């Protein structure tokens, strides 16, 4: 369960998120839809613990994780986050990037999980390459693979398909749909693209000027 209660966040004199409340009670996909500058990314960062609210509260599994002036760190929230850019470690191979968040597992178990995710995301042939040796679409796929490798309860995705080719986009949408259908993960997907939203499918939360509509 994800519950936001009266969330607000300001940057200088701009109110990026204004008194936002919502609740997601079942796994699957929820889309946060709005134009650029509408507050989507700020709201996602608040949910991830990357920003601290100026007002309001956030609950995960009925546990208070954010309030005014205080927040649990992201790694204490069982969250996977996919940024607008892949943000892969350039000095690590694709397989090493995917295994980065598996430090709680034993070596053998972590290696098995990396192999499983490489196969799931169609990246097995690229496991030994570095980020600058793969295409933009492959890098986005690797970023998603890294986020899902620890099997997070919550997967937050901030416009992960921006500026990639059609074939790569279709492959990633299929993968996201597969993750959504397994009903094990809460996906909150940010987009400004109406066509993309239709393909992902799920509950839609529309945001405008920092407020849910």
Residue range 88-131, pLDDT digits in tens? 999 999 999 999 989 888 889 999 999 999 998 889 999 999 99
Residue range 56-67, pLDDT digits in tens? 999 999 999 999
CATH 3.40.50.300 domain span(s) along the chain: 1-78+153-213
Residue range 156-172, pLDDT digits in tens? 999 988 878 888 888 88
Range 133-158 average pLDDT: 92
Residue range 169-193, pLDDT digits in tens? 888 888 888 888 888 899 999 999 8
Task: Share the mean pLDDT of the chain.
Answer: 92
What fold does the segment set 1-78+153-213 form as a domain? Rossmann fold (3.40.50)
Model confidence at 146: pLDDT above 80 = yes
Return d(Cα 154, Cα 47) in angstroms, integer: 10
């Amino acid at each position: 369960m994800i519950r936001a209660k009266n969330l607000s966040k300001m940057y200088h004199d701009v109110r990026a998120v204004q008194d936002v409340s919502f609740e997601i009670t079942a796994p699957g996909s929820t889309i946060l839809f709005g134009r650029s500058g509408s507050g989507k990314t700020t709201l996602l960062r608040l949910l991830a613990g990357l920003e601290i609210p100026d007002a309001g509260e956030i609950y995960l599994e009925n546990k208070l994780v954010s309030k005014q002036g205080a927040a649990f760190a992201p790694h204490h929230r069982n969250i996977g986050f996919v940024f607008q850019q892949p943000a892969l470690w350039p000095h690590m191979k694709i397989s090493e990037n995917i295994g980065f968040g598996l430090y709680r597992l034993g070596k053998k178990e972590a290696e098995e999980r990396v192999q499983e995710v490489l196969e799931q995301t169609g990246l097995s042939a690229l496991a030994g390459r570095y980020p600058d040796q793969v295409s933009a679409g492959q890098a986005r796929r690797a970023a998603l693979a890294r986020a899902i490798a620890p099997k997070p309860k919550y997967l937050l995705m901030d416009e992960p398909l921006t500026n990639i080719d059609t074939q790569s986009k279709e492959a990633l949408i299929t993968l996201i749909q597969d993750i959504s259908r397994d009903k094990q993960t809460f996906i909150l997907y940010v987009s400004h693209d109406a066509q993309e939203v239709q393909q992902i499918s799920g509950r839609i939360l529309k945001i405008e000027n920092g407020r849910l509509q």
